[in-house]
Structures are given as structure tokens and as C-alpha cells.
Amino acid sequence: MKTIEDLDVAGKRVFVRADLNVPLAGDQITDDGRIRAVAPTIAKLVERGAKVVVASHLGRPKGEPDPQFSLAPVAVRLGEILGRPVAAATDTVGESARAAVAALADGEVVLLENLRFNAGETSKDDAERKAFAEQLAALADLYVGDGFGAVHRKHASVYDLPALLPNAAGDLIATEVGVLKKLTEDVQRPYVVVLGGAKVSDKLGVIDNLLKKADRILIGGGMAYTFLKAKGHEVGISLLQADQIPVCLEYLAEAEKRGVEFVLPVDVLVSADFPDLKTKAPANPELVDSDKIPADQEGLDIGPKTRELYAAKLADARTVFWNGPMGVFEHPDYANGTKAVAQGLLDSDAFTVVGGGDSAAAVRILGFDETKFGHISTGGGASLEYLEGKTLPGLAALEG
């Protein structure tokens, strides 16, 4: 895989496929982590005299313009981070985009409008996708893939476009791949994996693959209750994927067979009512053992005994991968489990990787210093699919 050091970019139009899919409240960005992650690659290209054309998706518009998913606020924030103006096109490959790119001087930057405003970006029809990629290619001389959070998607700007232009990986993708290799090749042990989030089904592939690699797997979040149900425990009205119970039983048996510690919560905070995440009004949770959840209660965070247990399981780790919060961390009454895991990573001497998505957001929202972790990934889904051993289309396109 080539890097941007392998490209002669001076005076060239360089198309940078970034992942600027940031959370918005109206037109306000609530977490700019993904913008800051790609900014160094853009800055490097600017310093080398490139005309930089940045493109990304945001949200899930249905193949046509939708103002609530406009990248206009992102252009403003990107400019602030780069310390230079960033022009904002009002379309992807139309008159505005073509004019904005034509007006670029060396060292200037334009951000195209949301790629998913064009149906060709995400089309499953190869010809439609390629046609859109050809329109994008007309705007550039070179391609730099740096949107790690999108490399598991077979989309026009990720998969088809690199084949049409001389291409290379940006610094962010190069870093992400290097980190993931540390989690799959020549791993320093003990290797501890912490998985949370809502659904077991989202993590099946990664559990299956990591059972062959990890020394311990700690489970929290909504997905824990399907495992607890598989062990015969009452889980009340907690999140449950009943159809996944058989596979959970298989994984528990496989872990025992392989000598992998598979650790589930021993106590949980429960409530009959889901907390109000807007007002964050006191929720008055009840603490119960994880095998004694009342039938009318919902588990919403791991309890203090589990927090201590998980901290102990992390203490001697040499490598840790964490993906998914331990509870409803957005509410202060249910944030302590996620805080405890984050602190456990920091207290260990391990190489620590926070696997994107809600975990990365939790680190920032709960006030932790991002620089203290080994790596905070920008791609939750992409990280998981890599760890599952899948071929990621966007990486394959750059390697090809």
C-alpha cells in the first residue's frame, strides 16, 4: 500500500476521501474527533502545494440532497482546525463542485457536499456506482484514501474511485492498519478484549475470531444480557436477542475449551424506566446481582463488583482492545461502568486500543485525555470487520 510520501502532489488536484461523519445537533458539531483525525493528512498535502479536494459522507440521506445532512458546518470546523479557509461546494459533482475545484490555487482546500446526496455513491449496481466514481475522478489528478471509518463499504468514493486515479493511503489509514496488525499479528500477552454495546449480533464475527486470539474477553452493555440469559438467568426487560442464545452458548463452550476467560457481569444497575438522556434527571437505579434481575427491571450498567472485577482483569494486560460502552454512559447514573473500563485501560501498562464509535465518544464525553490511550480508532465497524478477518473493500482498492 502506497502512502502520500509516494505521490508527487505539488500543483496537483488531490482527492482526499475522508470520514467526516460527525454527530450534529442542528448545525452544531458535538464531537469533532473524526475531523481532527484526518486534519494532519490534509495539512501535509497543503504544505506540499497540493490543491486538496476533500469528500465525505455524513449520516444516511437517501441518495438526494437533505439539508440536515449538509457538510457545511464541517467545512467551517475543518478550516478552524487547519488554520486556513476551507471552501464549501454546495453539491458533489455539479456546477458548484466543478467551479470550486477549478478556482483552487496550490495549497488551498475545498470540501465537497455530502457524497451520499448522490445515489451512485452507495448503489449496489456496479455500473451506476462506477459512473459516479468517474464524475468524481474528473475533479482530481490523484486519490488519497483516508476515511478509515468507511473502508468496509463498497461505495463509489471508497472502492471504485481509487482504480481510476493514481492512489495512496493517507496517514490516518496507515496508522489504523498498523494498529490493527498489532491486535492480530505478534500480539503482546495477556491480550484482553472488552466488548459492550447493545447487540450481540453486531459482535458475533469478532467474538468468533478473537476466541482464537484473546486470553480474556470481558462482556458488558446491552449484549451482556443475552449471554446471561444463555446461562439461565432472569434478565427482566433488559435488552435481549433471544435468537442469539444458541450461538452465545456455543461461544461460552468454545471459550472454556480454549482456556479463554469469558467474563460476564456479576452485578448490574437496574431500573423499570429508561433514563431521560436530555434532562439527565436522577434515575434512582437499584443494584442487584446479575442472576437476580427482577422481571420488571432493565439492566442499564455494570455494578461496582463488576467494575472491580474488570479492572483486575485489565491490570496485568499487555494488549487491550475495547469496543462498546458498559451501559447507558450518556446518563451520569449509568456512566460509572464505562468510566471504570476507560480508567482500567489507563491504569494498565498495556497497548490500548479504543475501537471507535460509542467507545471513542464516551472517552471524550466522560472527560478522559485521549492522548493517554494507545490509539482511538475512527472506525468502529471497519475495526470490527478487520478483526473478524474480513477483506475491507477500501483497503483492497488501495492495495490493488
Binding-site residue positions for (2R)-3-phosphoglycerate: 34, 116, 153
Shortest CA distance to 324 belongs to which of 177, 220, 252, 216?
A: 220
Q: State in Å, rounded, how far the first CA of the chain is from the last one.
A: 8
Q: How would you list the strands of the sheet with 267-271, edge to edge?
A: 286-289, 267-271, 298-302
DSSP class of residue 157 equals I
Helix ranges, 48-117 (H) = 72-82, 95-102
The strand pairing partners of 145, in sequence order, are: 17, 169
Distance of alpha carbon 45 from alpha carbon 140, whole angstroms: 14
Buried b (16+ CB within 10 A) or exposed e, 172-189: bbbbbbebbebbeeebee
Q: Active-site positions?
A: 34, 199, 357, 381
| Set of cell numbers at residue 197 | 454495546
Q: Are 272 and 298 in contact (CB under 8 A)?
A: yes
Buried b (16+ CB within 10 A) or exposed e, 300-334: bbbbeebbebbbebbeebebbbbbbbbbbbbbebb
Three-class secondary structure of residue 212 per DSSP: coil
| Set of cell numbers at residue 210 | 478473537
Q: How would you list the strands of the sheet with 191-195, edge to edge?
A: 261-263, 216-219, 191-195, 319-323, 351-354, 375-376
Q: Are 150 and 382 in contact (CB under 8 A)?
A: yes
Tell me the residue type at 189.
Answer: R
| Set of cell numbers at residue 20 | 467526516
Distance of alpha carbon 133 from alpha carbon 123, whole angstroms: 11
Distance of alpha carbon 396 from alpha carbon 7, whole angstroms: 19
Annotated binding site for substrate: 19-21, 34, 57-60, 116, 153
Buried b (16+ CB within 10 A) or exposed e, 49-86: ebbbbbbbbbeebeeeeeeebbbebbbebbbebbeeeb
Q: Are 330 and 276 in contact (CB under 8 A)?
A: no
| Set of cell numbers at residue 352 | 490500548
